[in-house]
């Protein structure tokens, strides 16, 4: 791109359908979220209590919504021109502020509110450009400008109120943000999403949170003495992360995001999109739990909260994958897809059962979790061998 190039937004989802891939800017943009997720994971690591876990998920949902909102805009209107790059860079500044507010002994809700208001305001500016330059989608964008704009004002107002009232305003603003796409669902159906680009972006965010597991293994090993038990535990943790990667990406499909205008009521696209929130949050939490497990090797049984974070996050991840698989399957004759959904659900009671027992050391919990993940993979391979691959679409850069 020429440094001074200005190309107004245009509707991208009708261009080279099924062939779009993530841009270099999008990949660079994701780096800011790598830091934010890492800082959120760090806070959870230091506070594995029910309030700590609730706080973790609430802030994770807010961060994820920022990422998802920008991704939806880029999927439809990204032209990678000078103005868009500057606006995206401004959002990255906002995300860095948010990430910084999540560090330290106490969370700075004012800094978080400043960063969030800035990010939402810049998104409204992006949509205003789309409203001006893409007349065929003005009905949709007008609704976004009203809903997201009103919410952005509330996010900004939250900067200037006491902390208790700030949380109330955040809840109201987030509710408006989430309600806006639902209210505009009919117009959204007339402005399709890209069945290669958008699923790839969600896959990349899944890779981002799985990367936390690799970082967790390194961090965990730096605080323990090398021994056969710690080495085995580290290998098992990497194996578990690899298994979840395998389970997700070997069964990923993107066609479901294409909402058909003629079909007014279908929950599948919305279900597919929003189920990626608990999936991402649980995979990042699983990384935290595995780091705790590594640090506790050689110190007896794993404490109950740590044990349930390990098994609970794995349960949520498998349950999320089951729902994602179910939403992707709109072919009643696809026995393989239904079998994979059932396979994911069957793993959950075994994980819960494993969490009930206080075994002698964390390494044995990791052995059990690894065994369940391997059993899931074997189940998938068996279904593939028996029923074949019914023209499923893989997530890839080539669509």
pLDDT category at 118 given cuts 50, 70, 90 is very high
Mean pLDDT over 277-301 rounds to 89
* pLDDT tens profile 197-252: 888 899 999 999 999 999 988 888 787 777 788 888 899 999 999 999 999 998 87
Choose among 314, 376, 320: nearest CA to 343: 376
Q: What is the mean pLDDT of residues 64-70?
A: 96
Q: Which of 376, 312, 371 is nearest to 342 (CA)?
A: 376
Between 224 and 2, the higher pLDDT residue: 224
Q: How confident is the model at residue 309 (pLDDT cuts 50, 70, 90)?
A: very high
| pLDDT surpasses 70 at 257 | no
Residue 6 and residue 2: Cα distance in Å, rounded? Answer: 9
Segment 155-166 shows an average pLDDT of: 93
At 261 the pLDDT is 47
Q: Is the confidence at residue 2, as pLDDT, over 80?
A: no
Correct CATH for 197-387 of 1.20.120, 1.20.1410, 1.20.140, 3.40.50 = 1.20.1410
How large a percentage of the chain has pLDDT more than 90?
A: 57
Contacts of 388 (CB under 8 A, 6+ apart): 336
**pLDDT range class, residue 185, cuts 50, 70, 90:** confident
φ, ψ of residue 191 to 5 degrees: the values are -125, 85
Strand, helix or coil for residue 389? coil
Helix spans in 298-334 (H): 304-328
Q: How confident is the model at residue 105 (pLDDT cuts 50, 70, 90)?
A: low
Handedness of CA 189, 395, 334, 321 (dihedral sign): negative
Q: Dump pLDDT digits (tens) for 363-394.
A: 888 999 999 999 999 998 998 888 765 444 44
Most confident of 96-105, 236-245, 251-260, 356-365: 236-245
Q: Which residue has the higher pLDDT, 228 or 279?
A: 279
Domain ranges of the chain: 24-190, 197-387
């Amino acid at each position: 791109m020429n440094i001074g190039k200005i190309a107004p937004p245009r509707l991208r989802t009708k261009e080279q359908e099924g062939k779009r891939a993530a841009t270099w800017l999008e990949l660079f943009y994701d780096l800011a979220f790598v830091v934010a997720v890492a800082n959120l994971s760090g806070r959870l690591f230091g506070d594995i209590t029910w309030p700590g876990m609730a706080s973790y998920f609430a802030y994770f949902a807010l961060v994820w919504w920022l990422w998802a909102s920008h991704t939806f805009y880029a999927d439809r209107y990204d032209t990678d021109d000078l103005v868009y790059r500057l606006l995206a860079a401004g959002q990255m500044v906002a995300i860095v502020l948010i990430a910084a507010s999540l560090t330290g002994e106490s969370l700075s809700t004012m800094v978080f509110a400043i960063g969030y208001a800035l990010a939402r305001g810049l998104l409204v500016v992006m949509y205003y450009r789309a409203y001006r330059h893409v007349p065929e989608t003005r009905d949709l964008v007008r609704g976004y400008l009203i809903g997201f704009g009103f919410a952005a004002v509330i996010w900004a107002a939250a900067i200037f109120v006491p902390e208790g009232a700030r949380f109330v305003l955040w809840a109201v603003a987030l509710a408006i943000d989430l309600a806006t796409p639902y209210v505009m669902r009919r117009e959204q159906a007339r402005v399709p999403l890209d069945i290669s680009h958008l699923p790839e972006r969600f896959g990349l965010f899944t890779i981002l949170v799985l990367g936390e597991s690799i970082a967790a293994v390194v961090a965990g090993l730096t605080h323990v003495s090398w021994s056969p038990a710690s080495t085995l535990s580290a290998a098992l943790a990497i194996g578990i992360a690899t298994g979840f990667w395998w389970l997700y990406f070997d069964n990923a499909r993107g066609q479901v995001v294409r909402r058909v205008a003629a079909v007014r009521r279908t929950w599948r696209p919305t279900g597919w999109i929003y189920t990626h929130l608990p999936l991402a949050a649980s995979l990042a939490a699983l990384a935290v739990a595995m780091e705790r497990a590594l640090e506790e090797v050689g110190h007896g049984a794993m404490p109950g909260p740590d044990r349930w974070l390990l098994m609970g996050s794995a349960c949520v991840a498998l349950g999320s994958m089951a729902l994602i698989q179910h939403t992707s399957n709109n072919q009643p004759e696809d026995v393989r897809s239904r079998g994979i959904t059932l396979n994911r659900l069957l793993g959950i009671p075994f994980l819960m059962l494993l969490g009930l027992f206080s075994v002698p050391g964390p390494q044995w919990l990791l052995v059990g979790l690894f065994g369940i993940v391997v059993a899931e993979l074997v189940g998938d391979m068996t279904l593939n061998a028996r029923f074949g691959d019914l023209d499923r679409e893989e997530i890839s850069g080539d669509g």
